[in-house]
């Protein structure tokens, strides 16, 4: 029954199914009165009003049953302009304006990341999109942050560190929300004092609660510097496959959102992943070797960053429902071409998996829900057992707890590093000295020269070493890691320096049964 | 012999990129022997409106999975999908839910 390619000779025999030939005579399955407009599950036709109630209820229920978002908590809505996240923003807007007990009570903000440079769009196109984006943001009226992806070049390495936070009990989590609220106040004050903090550069608008504040066209200060744009373009052009490009974009985007969330005291980030997208993502991530992190990547909440939790309230809505809702209730969205726009079906794993799932869905209408239910059952338990040491090594890019053999014993590089570390320091020094003569000529401090050179020599491997299995695979599609934003390289260096120092002082430490020493020893 | 029909064909969600970025097309379908249904309309669109990469819009004799079809703002599944017979002044909307349009 499995056929390769698209040569399905005949369409699936529609006659054999109890075809919902509803036509004009049929009524809505809920109220039995209204004229149906949309078929949700196989055969369930809803009228406009019942569909709206159903859609809104699902959103509230998803937030309500998970009990993760506290009243007054600051929540950052990650809005890409696409249908799902637009619908999410609209649901929040509607939920906040309701005067009922079911009202949503958190304090939202919206972030839009302009990824134009990564997709190779011209400045004029991007400005046009930005104008549209800002128009929608004004209509919404939430405080908003428009940032461009170029700003990853100005991120501090601390973004990549997990800030553990006691989220155990309601008390602790609530306290955290209060703390970040205070932090936000502080940030605002700093901004007011004219701090040149890069992300606050006038592109954050505090338009709450008066959304009709007159805002001029995007100020030139808000646009990224040409050098950064060029650097970002160079980075994305150097990536050899579309798969790695999409993954890199996703990584950088999530770092940037995380940074903005932290800087402005948001303790939750909401993303608009729909059920259809999550089903596709689940399969894609499996194919990419991210099986160990599926629960984080596709679950309702993702606590990998510690202090900022990513939640996915749209995960019960299918893309079809989203598209219909947006159409029927005129939810504004901004279409922006993505990296994979117009790409052929087999251009990337993401693309291929999307086509595969949707194709299957067209013939077997429960495909998406089956895959999605699987993602719901995944438990994040396996790695929680090392809760004793909260600072387990994490992947430099996806920030998940490393799933690899820390000693790296199975790879050629692992073998090499272990021989290096077994060599006596003098031998190392001698070896490095011969190799690094030109570097001394450049005029570095002679004392640490061999160290510096060795660092340069394996800065590439240094980064690779700190990645999870999947991110390693993606980075293989980058001929050089140099174009990566500096914060990634800096953090990689910092981490391996720390590891090296740990190793150097190893002999002087009193041996206790610390697992950490084992991991750094290799 | 079906009379010529005037219908509005609209594209959204990025599908318009395959049609020169134009979202709304007011088209007149010429009179022909058999009545105009969505199946015929897709063939006509492929021949007359589609500017590039037909495989990203059409698969077999239907639309690609992931592209929704709304006829007069109602789900085409309610109306017989490909077999729906077009009436004069109908509006047909194609929304792509695929990533990147």
How much helix, strand and coil, in percent to the nearest 5, is found in chain B? 25, 35, 40
| The pLDDT of residue A131 | 93
Residues of B in contact with A277 (CB under 8 A): 99
CB proximity under 8 Å: B 10-49 to A: 12-14, 17-18
Q: Is the pLDDT of residue B99 over 90?
A: no
Highest mean predicted confidence (pLDDT) among A20-24, A228-232, A383-387, A408-412? A228-232
> What's the pTM?
0.78
| Cα distance between residue A13 and residue A125, in whole Å | 45
The C-alpha of A177 sits at a distance from chain B's nearest C-alpha, in angstroms, of 34
Q: Kindly state the DSSP code that residue B31 receives in the 8-state scheme.
A: P
Cα angle value A328/A330/A336 (rounded, 5°): 115
Q: Per the CB < 8 Å rule, is B100 touching A6?
A: no
Q: Is the pLDDT of residue A173 over 60?
A: no
Q: Is the pLDDT of residue A21 over 50?
A: no
**From A39, A343, A359, residue closest to B65, measured CB to CB:** A359
| Cα distance between residue A496 and residue A170, in whole Å | 37
Q: Per the CB < 8 Å rule, is A38 touching B66?
A: no
Beta strands A144-148; A107-114: pairing state: parallel
| The pLDDT of residue A454 | 55
Mutation choice for A interface testing from B38, B52, B54, B78 by most A CBs within 10 A: B78
Mean pLDDT of A392-412: 71
**From A45, A83, A354, residue closest to B13, measured CB to CB:** A83
| The pLDDT of residue A402 | 80
Q: Which one has a higher pLDDT value, B2 or A4?
A: B2
Q: What pLDDT digit, counting tens, does each position of B30-85 carry?
A: 888 888 999 999 999 999 998 888 889 999 899 999 999 999 999 998 998 899 99
| The pLDDT of residue A198 | 35
Q: Per the CB < 8 Å rule, is B79 touching A23?
A: yes
Q: Per the CB < 8 Å rule, is B60 touching A8?
A: yes
| Cα distance between residue A57 and residue A463, in whole Å | 45
Residues of A in contact with B14 (CB under 8 A): 335, 337, 341
| The pLDDT of residue A327 | 93
Q: Is the pLDDT of residue A101 over 60?
A: yes
| The pLDDT of residue A201 | 35
| The pLDDT of residue A172 | 58
In this complex, is the C-beta atom of A358 within 8 Å of any C-beta atom belonging to chain B?
Answer: yes
Q: Are A6 and B60 in contact (CB under 8 A)?
A: yes
| The pLDDT of residue A260 | 94
Structure tokens at B95: 């929304």
| Cα distance between residue B8 and residue A60, in whole Å | 36
| Cα distance between residue B7 and residue B4, in whole Å | 10
Q: Per the CB < 8 Å rule, is B68 touching A324?
A: yes
Mean pLDDT of A69-77: 89
| Cα distance between residue B41 and residue A5, in whole Å | 25
| The pLDDT of residue A506 | 80
CA A96 to chain centre: 25
| The pLDDT of residue A215 | 40
**From B14, B74, B97, residue closest to A341, measured CB to CB:** B14
Residues of A in contact with B61 (CB under 8 A): 11
In this complex, is the C-beta atom of A351 within 8 Å of any C-beta atom belonging to chain B?
Answer: yes
Highest mean predicted confidence (pLDDT) among A6-10, A245-249, A292-296? A245-249
Q: What pLDDT digit, counting tens, does each position of A307-363 carry?
A: 899 999 999 999 999 999 999 999 999 998 888 888 888 899 999 999 999 999 988
In this complex, is the C-beta atom of B54 within 8 Å of any C-beta atom belonging to chain A?
Answer: no
| The pLDDT of residue A247 | 93
Q: pLDDT band at residue A180, thresholds of 50, 70 and 90?
A: low
What DSSP string runs through B27-74? EEEPPBSSPPBHHHHHHHHHHHT--S-GGGTEETTEEPTTEEEEETTE
Mean pLDDT of A159-170: 66
Q: A58-67, A134-143, A433-442, B23-32: which has the minimum mean pLDDT? A: A433-442
In this complex, is the C-beta atom of B65 within 8 Å of any C-beta atom belonging to chain A?
Answer: yes
Boundaries of every domain in chain A:
38-166+221-377, 456-507
| The pLDDT of residue A377 | 86
Share of chain A above pLDDT 90, in %: 35
Secondary structure class of A311 (helix, strand, coil): strand
The C-alpha of B79 sits at a distance from chain A's nearest C-alpha, in angstroms, of 5
Q: Is the pLDDT of residue A434 over 80?
A: no
Q: Kindly state the DSSP code that residue A99 receives in the 8-state scheme.
A: -
Q: Per the CB < 8 Å rule, is B68 touching A276?
A: no
Contacts by residues A18-25 (CB-CB < 8 Å, ≥ 24 positions apart): A18/A43, A20/A45, A20/B77, A20/B78, A21/B80, A22/B78, A23/B78, A23/B79, A23/B80
Q: Is the pLDDT of residue A262 over 60?
A: yes
User: How many contacts (CB atoms, under 8 Å) link A and B?
Assistant: 97
* Spatial strand order in the sheet of B67-71: B24-29, B5-12, B91-96, B67-71, B74-75
In this complex, is the C-beta atom of B50 within 8 Å of any C-beta atom belonging to chain A?
Answer: no
Mean pLDDT of A90-103: 81
Question: What is chain A's mean pLDDT, rounded?
Answer: 76
| Cα distance between residue A262 and residue A180, in whole Å | 8
Q: Is the pLDDT of residue B98 over 80?
A: yes
Secondary structure class of B50 (helix, strand, coil): coil
Q: Is the pLDDT of residue A513 over 60?
A: no
> CB under 8 Å to A258, separation ≥6 — which residues?
A159, A269, A305, A308
Q: Are A27 and A286 in contact (CB under 8 A)?
A: no
Residues of B in contact with A335 (CB under 8 A): 12-14, 101
**From B56, B77, B93, residue closest to A342, measured CB to CB:** B56
Mean pLDDT of A100-109: 81
In this complex, is the C-beta atom of A15 within 8 Å of any C-beta atom belonging to chain B?
Answer: no
Pick the closest to residue A319 from A372, A268, A378 (CA basis): A372
Q: How far is CA A232 from CA A162, A228, A243, in A?
A: 25, 6, 17
DSSP-assigned beta bridge partners for residue B58: B63
| Cα distance between residue B16 and residue B29, in whole Å | 20
Share of chain A above pLDDT 70, in %: 68
Burial A266-284 (b: 16+ CB within 10 A, else e): bbbbbbbbbbbbbbbbbbb
| Cα distance between residue A433 and residue A472, in whole Å | 30
Chain A residue with the nearest C-alpha to that of B95: A323
Residues of A in contact with B24 (CB under 8 A): none
DSSP-assigned beta bridge partners for residue A391: none
* Residue A459: φ, ψ to 5°: -65, -35
Residues of B in contact with A346 (CB under 8 A): none
Residues of A in contact with B83 (CB under 8 A): none
Q: A417-421, A456-460, B82-86: which has the minimum mean pLDDT? A: A417-421
Structure tokens at A278: 């999550």
| The pLDDT of residue A179 | 60
Mean pLDDT of A279-301: 91
What chain B holds in terms of domains, given with CATH numbers, is: 5-96 (3.10.20.30)
Chain A residue with the nearest C-alpha to that of B23: A335
CB proximity under 8 Å: B 66-85 to A: 66, 68, 70, 73-75, 77-80
Q: A354-363, A381-390, A431-440: which has the minimum mean pLDDT? A: A431-440
Q: Which CATH superfamily is domain A38-166+221-377 in?
A: HUPs (3.40.50.620)
Cβ–Cβ contacts within 10 Å for residue A503, how many? 14
**From B12, B61, B75, residue closest to A39, measured CB to CB:** B75
Secondary structure class of B24 (helix, strand, coil): strand
The residue to which tokens 């999409």 are assigned: A246
Mean pLDDT of A196-206: 38
Q: Per the CB < 8 Å rule, is B61 touching A39?
A: no
Mean pLDDT of A264-290: 93
| The pLDDT of residue A391 | 56
């Amino acid at each position: 029954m499995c056929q390769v390619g698209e040569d399905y000779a005949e369409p699936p025999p529609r006659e054999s199914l109890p075809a919902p030939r509803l036509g004009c005579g049929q009524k809505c399955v809920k109220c039995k009165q209204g004229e149906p407009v949309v078929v949700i599950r196989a055969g369930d036709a809803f009228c406009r009003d019942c569909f709206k109630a159903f859609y809104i209820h699902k959103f509230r229920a998803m937030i309500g049953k998970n009990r993760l978002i506290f009243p007054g908590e600051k929540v950052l809505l990650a809005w890409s302009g696409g249908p799902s996240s637009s619908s999410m923003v609209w649901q929040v807007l509607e939920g906040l304006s309701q005067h009922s007990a079911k009202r949503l009570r958190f304090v939202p903000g919206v972030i839009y990341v302009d990824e134009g440079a990564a997709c190779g769009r011209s400045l004029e196109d991007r400005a046009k999109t930005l104008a549209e984006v800002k128009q929608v943001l004004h209509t919404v009226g939430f405080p908003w942050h428009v940032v461009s992806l170029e700003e990853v070049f100005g991120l501090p390495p601390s973004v990549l560190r997990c800030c553990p936070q006691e989220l155990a009990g309601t008390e602790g989590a609530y306290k955290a929300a209060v703390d970040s609220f205070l932090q936000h106040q502080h940030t605002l004050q700093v901004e007011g004092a004219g701090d040149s903090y890069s992300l606050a550069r006038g592109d954050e608008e505090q338009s709450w609660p008066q959304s009709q504040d007159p805002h001029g066209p995007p100020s030139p200060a808000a646009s990224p510097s040409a050098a950064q744009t060029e650097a970002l373009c160079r980075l994305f052009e150097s990536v050899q496959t579309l798969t790695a490009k999409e993954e890199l974009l996703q990584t950088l985007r999530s770092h940037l959102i995380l940074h903005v969330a932290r800087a402005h005291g948001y303790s939750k980030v909401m993303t608009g992943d729909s059920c259809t997208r999550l089903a596709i993502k689940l399969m894609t991530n499996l194919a990419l070797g991210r099986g160990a992190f599926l629960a984080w990547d596709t679950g309702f909440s993702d606590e990998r960053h510690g202090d900022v939790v990513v939640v996915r309230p749209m995960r019960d809505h299918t893309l079809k429902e989203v598209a219909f809702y947006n159409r029927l209730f005129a939810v504004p969205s901004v279409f922006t071409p993505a990296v994979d726009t117009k790409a052929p079906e087999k251009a990337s794993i993401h693309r291929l998996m999307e086509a595969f799932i949707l194709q299957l869905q067209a013939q077997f209408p429960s495909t998406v829900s089956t895959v999605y239910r699987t993602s719901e059952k995944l438990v994040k338990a396996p790695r929680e057992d090392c809760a004793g040491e909260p600072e387990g090594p994490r992947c430099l890019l996806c920030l998940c707890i490393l799933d690899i053999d820390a000693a790296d014993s199975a790879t050629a590089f692992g073998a090499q590093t272990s021989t290096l570390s077994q060599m006596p320091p003098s031998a190392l020094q001698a070896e490095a000295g011969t190799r690094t003569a030109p570097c001394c000529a450049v005029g570095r401090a002679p004392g640490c020269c061999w160290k510096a050179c060795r660092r340069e020599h394996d800065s590439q491997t240094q980064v690779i070493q700190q990645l999870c299995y999947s991110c390693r695979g993606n980075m293989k599609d980058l001929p050089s890691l140099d174009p990566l934003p500096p914060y990634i390289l800096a953090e990689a260096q910092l981490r391996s320096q720390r590891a090296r120092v740990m190793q150097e002082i190893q002999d002087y430490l009193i041996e206790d049964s610390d697992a950490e020493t084992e991991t750094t020893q290799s | 012999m079906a009379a010529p029909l005037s219908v509005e064909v609209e594209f959204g969600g990025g599908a318009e990129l395959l049609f020169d970025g134009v979202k709304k097309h007011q088209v007149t379908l010429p009179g022909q022997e058999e009545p105009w249904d969505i199946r015929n309309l897709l063939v006509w669109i492929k021949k007359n409106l589609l500017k590039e990469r037909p495989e990203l819009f059409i698969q077999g004799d239907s639309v690609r999975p992931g592209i929704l079809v709304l006829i007069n703002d109602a789900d085409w599944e309610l109306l017989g999908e490909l077999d729906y017979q077009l009436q004069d002044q109908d509006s047909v909307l194609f929304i792509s839910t695929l990533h990147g349009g």
